[in-house]
Each structure stands twice: as C-alpha cells, then as structure tokens.
Copies of this chain bind each other. A is one copy, B any other.
Amino acid sequence: MAKPDLTIGLIGTGFMGRAHAFGFAAAPRVFELPMEIRLKSVADVTEEAAARAASAFGFERSTADWRSLIDDPEIDVIDITAPNALHKEMALAAIAASKHVYCEKPLAPLAADALEMAEAAEAAGVKTQVGFNYLCNPMFTLAREMIAAGDLGEIRGYRGLHCEDYMADPDAPWTFRHDPAGGGALADIGSHALATAEFLLGPIARVMGDCRTLIGERPDGRGGRRKVEVDDIARAFLTFESGVTGSIEANWLATGRTMQHDFEVYSSKGAIAFSGERLNELHVFSSADGPGRTGFRRIEAGPAHPPYGLFCVAPGHQLGFNDLKAIEVAGYVTAIAGLSDEPFGFRKGARIQTLVETILASSAAGAWRDVPG
C-alpha cells in the first residue's frame, strides 16, 4: 500500500518559497497524507539562487528556467511564489500542461486576470490553491463552526482588521507592492481581512471604500524618488449577502503592529473576538453563561480543535505561523488526492481580487458599489 507520489516544482525562493518548503517538509510529519510529497525541482532567476534553494529546501534539482518545470513530465504540481506580476503567465502555462497549480496570493494583480486563471484551471480540471494560510488556523475553524451551528444566534455585526507596519518607514523603497496594478495595503493584507470575513460570514454583497495614500513617493532604488499611488490605509464598510453589516481596515503603516489580523463578531447570543497577535486564542462570549457569570472566555487551541492534535497532544502548547502553512499544504494534497474539496482554489483567489477592486472603485467614486459575481 505504497502511497502515490506527488512531485513538486517550486518557482521562487524568497520568504514565501521558504515557507512553502517548510510546509512541504512539515506536513508529512504531522498529517497522514494520502500522497508522498517529492520535492523535484526548484527554479529561480539565477542558477546560483536556485541551486542554493534546492540545497536549503531539500529539492532534488534546480534550474534558472521556470519553463523547464512546466515541461517536466515528472512534475505534478507547479508551486508559484514568484513576484505577483508573473503569476498569471506561469499559472496559465502550468494549467496548459495539465499540472496542478499552487499559487501564493494574490493570484494576480488584476481581478480579470485572476478570473481568467480560475476559469482556465476549471476547464483543464486541475486542482488549484491560493496561499491564504491564516484561514488554516484551527481557531478560525472553531469560530466558523460556532457561527454555522447557531451557537451565536443571529449575527449582527463584524469588524475585521489586518494592520502591520512594514511600510511605515517613508524611506523604504518603492517595490512591486506599490505598483498601481495590483499593489497597495488593501491588496496585500486587506485581502486577508476580506478572506477571513467571507470565510466566517459568507459572501459580501456591497462595499463602500475609503482608500488613502499617505506616503506619496518613495526612493526608487536609483537615487531618485518614485511616485506612489496605491493605498497605504484602506477602510471599507461591508454588507454581506445575509444582510449582516461590518467593516474592515487594512493598514501597512500601523507602527507597532506586526500581525493585527483581528476580527470581532457580534450576535444576538454572544460574540467572538480574535487577534492575530495571539493566534492560538479565541475569545468567546455567551449570554447563556448567566447573570454575573458572563465574560469573554479565552479558549486556547488544543486537540479539541483539529488539526491541532496532530501537531501536539497537549493543549495550550501553541502552533506557529509555519504550522499554518503545513496545514495549508495538507489540505491541498488531500484535495489533489480527491478526498476533499479545494480548500481555497483559484476561484476563491479571484473572488478576493474582485472584492479588492470593488472597494478601490468605491473609494474613488465616493459611493457604495455592488460586488460583481
């Protein structure tokens, strides 16, 4: 009963490439995966970088030509952690070669491109995944289950945040994240806040945005300055299809915040509060606790919250950021094996881009907008 192999070709070896490599190494140690992950080949822009990554990440081979991974019949999955602007070309090529595609977020800078990718994948029948790893947190699953089970009664309000401070320094250089085509705080981290909002409460129907540029130019890396037109802070009012209303904020200038991926859900029977600064805790309030005994309850992640127990048999010992990547990988491998739905496929990735663009358009118009699709 040997498991079938699942061979990986990784494109890109930066922060997220490393995180994926960690996920591929850790997932089989934690989960009983239905397939055997084989790290076949890794591509980067130079032979040296690729070779270094192959050694560091445990891949068999390396190449400076990402197209060679596409052409390689020994590779089942193309994993894209290259710059955002290249995602579409790479993914479409991989899909055309009938390979499964795992792509870091954002799926593509523009929603139309992301949708094209999703449709191509569906037409080709390949399995896809976009790296929204925060959704893999067992505490998110708990929150969603409590909401879905009606433990909270009728949902009445939502607040979501994703604020960090990695762009707070005005002398930090212009990067692809500042490119008007797909850049900005809303696209980069607001996308997480939007994914979480829909994960918990279902589709968003209407939005009203307020997107602001504060640092109007940045060093261009060649001694000059380059104009920045993307949002540094983006706020949005949300109306969900269910009628629930809420808000999100994305802010990459939030000095002092490193992982303020927070949400609060209020309802007729209770409330849920989460902060990404303490990713192993869910704070739950239940009116049923009785007079003088109510309070927000700090639930610590434990074996009662799958798949935590596969990482550690004891509660409260805490998962880390990289563990969420291992959960993401396991979910994708299980989907490829046909044992579950895609956890967060290209269709969902495109959806997030659509939300981002609708909020930006709403902000520009100063008016509410319906979310297409």
Taking Cβ atoms with an 8 Å cutoff, the residues of A that contact B are 15, 18-19, 21-22, 25-26, 28-30, 32, 56-58, 142, 156-157, 159, 163-164, 166, 168, 170, 208, 210, 212, 214, 232-233, 235, 237, 245, 247, 249, 251, 253-259, 266-271, 277-279, 283-285, 287, 289, 291-300, 302, 304-305, 311-323, 366-368
Q: How many copies does the complex hold?
A: 4
Check if B267 sits within 8 Å of A314, measured CB to CB.
no
Question: Complex formed: what's the CA distance from A134 to B287 in Å?
Answer: 27
Nearest 9 pairs of A and B residues by beta carbon: A258-B316, A320-B320, A292-B304, A256-B285, A317-B321, A259-B316, A256-B271, A295-B299, A295-B297
Question: Complex formed: what's the CA distance from A254 to B269 in Å?
Answer: 10
Question: Complex formed: what's the CA distance from A366 to B208 in Å?
Answer: 9
Question: Complex formed: what's the CA distance from A157 to B256 in Å?
Answer: 13
Q: Closest CB-CB distance, A143 to chain B, in whole Å? A: 12
Query: Pick the contact of A233 from B29, B156, B163, B316 — CB < 8 Å?
Result: B156
Check if B284 sits within 8 Å of A293, measured CB to CB.
yes
Check if B15 sits within 8 Å of A29, measured CB to CB.
no
Check if B320 sits within 8 Å of A319, measured CB to CB.
yes
Nearest B-chain residue to A320, judged by Cβ: B320
Report B-chain residues with C-beta under 8 Å of the C-beta of A258: 300, 302, 314-317
SS class, residues of chain A in contact with chain B: mixed
Report B-chain residues with C-beta under 8 Å of the C-beta of A299: 292-295
Check if A296 sits within 8 Å of B297, measured CB to CB.
yes
Report B-chain residues with C-beta under 8 Å of the C-beta of A214: 156
Query: Pick the contact of A210 from B237, B292, B295, B315 — CB < 8 Å?
Result: B237
Q: A255-B268, A319-B320, A322-B312 are in contact. Are A210 and B212 (CB under 8 A)?
A: no
Check if B292 sits within 8 Å of A284, measured CB to CB.
no
Query: Pick the contact of A25 from B15, B29, B156, B312 — CB < 8 Å?
Result: B29
Question: Complex formed: what's the CA distance from A258 to B313 in Å?
Answer: 11
Q: Closest CB-CB distance, A205 to chain B, in whole Å? A: 14
Best-surrounded residue of A25, A267, A314, A366 (most CB of chain B within 10 A) = A25
Supply 5 further A-B pairs (C-beta < 8 A) apart from A32-B56, A311-B321, A319-B322: A22-B311, A25-B29, A208-B210, A277-B300, A312-B321
Check if A311 sits within 8 Å of B315, measured CB to CB.
no
Nearest B-chain residue to A245, judged by Cβ: B212
19 A-B contact pairs sorted by A residue (CB < 8 Å) = A21-B29, A22-B29, A26-B29, A29-B58, A156-B214, A157-B251, A170-B268, A254-B271, A255-B269, A256-B294, A284-B293, A293-B297, A294-B297, A295-B298, A296-B297, A312-B322, A318-B321, A320-B323, A323-B323
Q: A292-B142, A320-B322 are in contact. Are A255 and B287 (CB under 8 A)?
A: yes
